[in-house]
């Protein structure tokens, strides 16, 4: 699909500087620009590349002042980075604009589907499942009995959504995600363990994105809940009865243990862990590889370490920790004297 500089500028409310009829059909990094691709310049440290890039069109801020002659066509916009992101979203939607039902698939007689859906080959729709309008379900996805999926949601290849779970509108569930598998519930019994039935479900609210191979366990009773606008990275474990607040973001390899409640607008770095039955207040930031072993009640607190504590105290402690070898040498020298 081809787009001219004029067409792109009109969609972004930008202005063309150069050949308005030059066209592009792909995107590229500015330092790797190729003919008929579009790139952008937002970070000043990449400015050197704009003077010799082969990209046919480059988005730049309206405030950009060239220091040398530029051969490529420029489109000046208020924010080059945001404009480029908007174009990528449009491009992605065009590339993934699939519709229709491929074969073979299994659709239970009691399942209902909205308008303009896409159902990839070998997908499975269970009994009483409800699929909204404009939903895309890619090949080998499993949608269990009594599952509801809201409008405009995309379920990528190989996703497994167990029975009774609810997925909101405008969500994106990436490949390999498992939603609604049993929580880790076992009661000690003699020399072994007896499994505690997990009869709850998972509720994913609107505008949530879940990265590849993340697992979200169903509740023992009630619901495990991911609130609207939350963003989960790849390879995350969310245990039974956890609640993740609105617009909270969690980086990869993190794990939230059972029944913990994470507030809204929380940021959790990669490989962080939160033990069970805790609460984390709104706006808290948890540094990567931290281990949270007690509730964080103060809003907007920043913590680090394992066990995690205030980042200011952590940094002071870390300075002392790094000095321990030197202190040990001095102590040894004093003992010898």
HSE value, Cβ hemisphere, 13 Å, CA-based, for 45? 0
Cis, peptide link before residue 104, omega less than 30° from 0: yes
**What residues act catalytically?**
240
Separation CA 95–CA 97 (nearest Å): 6
Identify which of 268, 271, 301 has the alpha carbon closest to the alpha carbon of residue 284.
301
| Cα separation, 91 vs 1, whole angstroms | 9
Return the closest-CA partner of residue 256 out of 63, 241, 265, 223. Answer: 241
Phi, psi of 238 (to 5 degrees): -115, 115
Q: 3-class DSSP state for residue 8?
A: helix
5: Cβ contacts below 8 Å, ≥ 6 apart:
16, 18, 19, 20, 21, 22, 23, 24, 56, 57, 73, 75
Torsion over CA: 9, 14, 16, 17 (sign): negative
């Amino acid at each position: 699909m081809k787009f001219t500089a004029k067409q792109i500028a009109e969609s972004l409310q930008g202005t063309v500087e150069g050949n308005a009829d030059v066209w592009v059909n792909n995107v590229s990094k500015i330092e790797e620009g190729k003919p008929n691709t579009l790139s952008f310049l937002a970070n000043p440290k990449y400015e050197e590349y704009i003077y010799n890039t082969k990209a046919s069109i480059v988005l730049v801020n309206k405030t950009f002042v060239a220091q040398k002659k530029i051969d490529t066509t420029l489109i000046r916009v208020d924010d080059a980075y945001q404009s480029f992101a908007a174009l990528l979203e449009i491009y992605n939607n065009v590339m993934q604009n699939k519709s229709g039902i491929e074969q073979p698939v299994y659709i239970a007689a009691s399942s209902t589907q909205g308008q303009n859906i896409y159902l990839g080959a070998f997908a499975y729709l269970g009994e009483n499942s409800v699929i909204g309008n404009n939903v895309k379900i890619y090949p080998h996805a499993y949608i269990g009995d009594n599952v509801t999926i809201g409008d405009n949601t995309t379920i990528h290849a190989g996703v497994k959504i167990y029975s009774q779970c609810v997925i909101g509108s405008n969500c994106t569930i990436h490949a390999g995600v498992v939603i609604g598998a049993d929580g880790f519930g076992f009661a000690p019994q003699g020399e072994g363990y007896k499994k505690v039935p997990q009869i709850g479900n998972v509720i994913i609210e609107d505008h949530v994105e879940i990265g590849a191979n993340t697992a979200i366990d169903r509740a023992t009773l009630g619901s495990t809940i991911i609130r609207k606008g939350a963003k989960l990275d790849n390879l995350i474990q969310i245990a039974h009865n956890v609640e993740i607040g609105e617009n909270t973001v969690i980086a990869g390899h993190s794990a939230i243990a059972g029944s913990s409640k994470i507030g809204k607008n929380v940021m959790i770095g990669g490989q962080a862990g939160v033990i069970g039955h805790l609460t984390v207040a709104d706006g808290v930031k948890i540094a990567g590889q931290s281990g949270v072993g007690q509730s964080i009640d103060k809003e907007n607190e920043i913590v680090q370490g394992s066990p995690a504590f205030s980042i200011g105290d952590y940094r002071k402690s870390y300075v002392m920790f790094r000095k321990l070898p030197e202190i040990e040498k001095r102590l040894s020298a004093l003992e010898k004297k």
